[in-house]
Copies of this chain bind each other. A is one copy, B any other.
Amino acid sequence: MTNDDADFLTSYDPRAYPPVAVTVDVVAFTIRDGALHVLLVRRGGPPMKDMWALPGGFVGEWEDLATAAARELAEETGVATANRRLHLEQLGTYGAPERDPRMRVFSVAYLAFAPQLPDPVSGSDAREAAWVPMDDRPAALAFDHATILADGLERARSKLEYSPLATKFVGEEFTIAELRAVYETVWGEPLHAGNFHRKVLSVPGFVESTGATTERGGARGGPRAKLYRAGDAQLLHPALLMPSREETLR
């Protein structure tokens, strides 16, 4: 037996290693009533019983990570896994040794965006689930979920700048004003309507016109708006930059 083989055998005997678990946790954002909401579940059992947490769970034996994230989301929201308008991306992995008191747990966090998702299906998992406005979110979440959520929000905010992510928050057809509302909601600051309009139409592949307009004007007046659908661009160039970034830096 060569030295390498011996190394291999000891290195890779599963039982030679302490038990670890891998979970997925999902930071799911949607916009309801003009406010950014995140999906939270109330923990039904210890540890941290009754605390709010991100939806998540163990990765199945034959399950892909992204599939597991989609499944967890579907279990809470009933959103079809094949939903065309759902965006899922990996956010990062959190594996501090003490993040879960029971055992070594690595959590692969996913970020999900979707338009106006349905109310959570409580009871499917014996857990209470709810869309919670980000402004009213509990300061403390179970485990390190507050950190994960903060990272997810930051990712979402910057992804709006250079990707067509905002189109995932609106319906199949949308107006420029609806798109602007997404940016204003996630960025938390008002944008110049005229400049936003010009900018969106000037970015190649961001949106394409459907030719149609809304049936009615705005609820408080105004003309009927033209309708657009998402274009085929994967990266916005030039990007739409957050106005507040400029001062925040350095």
B-binding segment of A12-20, A137-145, A166-174: A12-20
Residues of B within 8 A of A217 (CB): none
Q: Which of A1-36 contact B (CB under 8 A)?
A: 3-5, 7-8, 11-12, 14-15, 17-22
Question: Are B232 and A103 in contact (CB-based, < 8 A)?
Answer: no
Question: Are B22 and A126 in contact (CB-based, < 8 A)?
Answer: no
Residues of B within 8 A of A106 (CB): 22, 65, 106, 108
Residues of B within 8 A of A108 (CB): 93, 95, 106
Query: What's the least CB distance linking A107 to chain B, in Å?
Result: 10
Query: What's the least CB distance linking A49 to chain B, in Å?
Result: 8
Q: How many copies does the complex hold?
A: 2
What is the bound-complex CA distance between A7 and B126, given in angstroms?
9
Interface of A is mostly: loop
Residues of B within 8 A of A102 (CB): 12
Q: Which of B20, B93, B204, B246 makes the CB contact (< 8 A) with A20? A: B20
Q: Would A58 and B17 be within 8 Å (CB), given that A126-B4, A237-B249, A250-B232 are in contact?
A: yes
Residue A211 interfacial (CB < 8 Å)? no
Q: Which of B5, B58, B245 makes the CB contact (< 8 A) with A45? A: B5
Residue A104 interfacial (CB < 8 Å)? yes
What is the bound-complex CA distance between A212 and B44, given in angstroms?
64
Q: Which of A190-247 contact B (CB under 8 A)?
A: 204-205, 232-235, 237, 239, 241, 245-246
Q: Chain A residues in contact with chain B, CB under 8 A?
A: 3-5, 7-8, 11-12, 14-15, 17-22, 44-46, 49, 58-59, 61-65, 90, 92-93, 95-97, 102-104, 106, 108, 126, 204-205, 232-235, 237, 239, 241, 245-246, 249-250
15 of the cross-chain contacts (CB-CB < 8 Å) are A3-B126, A4-B45, A14-B19, A20-B59, A22-B22, A22-B95, A61-B97, A62-B97, A63-B97, A65-B95, A65-B96, A204-B250, A205-B249, A233-B250, A237-B241
